[in-house]
Amino acid sequence: MFGKKKQPPIRTLIGEGTVITGELRFADGLRIDGEVVGDVVAAGEGYSILVISEKARVTGKVNAGHVIVNGTVIGPIHSSDLLELQPKARIAGDVHYKTLEMHQGATICGKMVPADTVVEEKP
């Protein structure tokens, strides 16, 4: 209704106290409460949601449709739909997004690049 996409179910949880090293691919939805050292990438063509909670930490590239961050990400974020940065979000890396929602208190140390922006390299 009103052009809003139905959110996929969150089928996978990385619990607090868990550390995963290496590339992590997921379908539908993923919630991270622990730590991931490596890239977190939504697999497939379908709509995806990734939640990085307040206590979570991701060191690596993040790529998903709808990304919600309230923890720490060290690395670039690519959101093909909506990027939500909640009050305790700490990002050290460039963010690429179609739509951005940023709450007071969230911080980004990097470039903010909207999806429709064409960045030209200087010779």
Helix/strand number for the chain, H first, E second = 0, 16
Give the three-state DSSP class for 34: coil
Q: What is the DSSP string of 69-107?
A: ESSEEES-EEEEEEEEE-TT-EEES-EEESEEEE-TT-E
pLDDT tens digits, 37-83: 999 999 877 789 999 999 999 999 999 999 999 999 999 999 999 99
pLDDT tens figures, 84-97: 999 999 999 999 99
3-state secondary structure of 46: coil
pLDDT at residue 1, rounded to an integer: 41
Q: Which residue has the higher pLDDT, 2 or 43?
A: 43
The CA-to-CA distance between both ends of the chain, in Å, stands at 47
